[in-house]
Chain A
Amino acid sequence: MDILYFAWVRERIGLPKERITTDAATVADLVAELIAREDRYAVAFSDLSALRVAVDQELTDFDAPLSGVREVAFFPPMTGG
């Protein structure tokens, strides 16, 4: 599964994209797995209310299931326009 990070999430974690193997059932499970890996993840994911998540390029929430998913992206609230 590809994990993508944008804006300050990318900066805090220190990379734009990584490929991981996971059995996480939901986005929240994946986040817990990442937080357990290293401090930089724990820092980036310390306040989930400040984050948004897209699964296969569709905006969703942290309860979303990951079965069959190819791409998960984490980023701050968007500021287009």
Chain B
Amino acid sequence: MRIVVQEAPFDLGAESDAFAAGRHDMGAVVTFTGVVRDVNDQLDVMEIEHYPGMTEKALTKIATEAMQRWSLGDVLVIHRFGRLAPGDRIMMVATAAPHRRDAFEAADFLMDYLKSRAPFWKKEHGKDGTSWVAAKDEDEDALSRW
């Protein structure tokens, strides 16, 4: 299990390759990548704030729960903070499992929990000023699936 919280960009290909390398017992690797979205060409910068210390603890707790609930070989979570531009990668999760259903479900679970239980906050700097991204009810509701 590896949890990384960093300001710098990450190399998706290199991280994916390194994550699965040498695990011949894992038949399935799922990766999910979150990207800064700009639907209407309004966004200049996405600023991501986090709670150093608690962030790592919260992500470790979520990943540990995933390892306990599904038959997984490994979990990787990388999440960035700081100022990002539209199109930049914000974060990735990867799960490795003997079988694909465990890998898919665990990745889905990780994303649902990471959305509303890991201490990150997003602020949009756009053409019309700045605003904090509000949490969505549907993100909180998604947790009841698990």
Q: Name A residues whose Cβ lies closer than 8 Å to a Cβ of B.
A: 4, 6-8, 54, 57-59, 73, 75-81
- Tell me which residues across on chain B come within 8 A of A58, comparing CB atoms: 54, 57
Q: Name B residues whose Cβ lies closer than 8 Å to a Cβ of A.
A: 34, 49, 51, 53-54, 57-58, 79, 90-91, 111, 114-123, 132-135, 139-140
Interface residues of B: mostly helix, strand, loop or mixed? mixed
Residue pair B79, A80 in contact (C-beta under 8 Å): yes
Question: Can you give 30 A-B contacts (C-beta < 8 A)?
Answer: A6-B121, A7-B49, A7-B121, A7-B123, A7-B132, A54-B51, A57-B51, A57-B57, A57-B58, A73-B51, A73-B54, A76-B135, A77-B134, A77-B140, A78-B117, A78-B120, A78-B135, A79-B115, A79-B120, A79-B121, A79-B134, A79-B135, A79-B139, A80-B91, A80-B117, A80-B119, A81-B90, A81-B91, A81-B111, A81-B114
CA distance A49 to B139 in the complex (A): 16
Residue pair A54, B49 in contact (C-beta under 8 Å): no
A80 with B49: in contact, given A7-B123, A54-B54, A73-B54 (CB under 8 Å)?
Answer: no
- Tell me which residues across on chain A come within 8 A of B119, comparing CB atoms: 6, 54, 73, 75, 78, 80
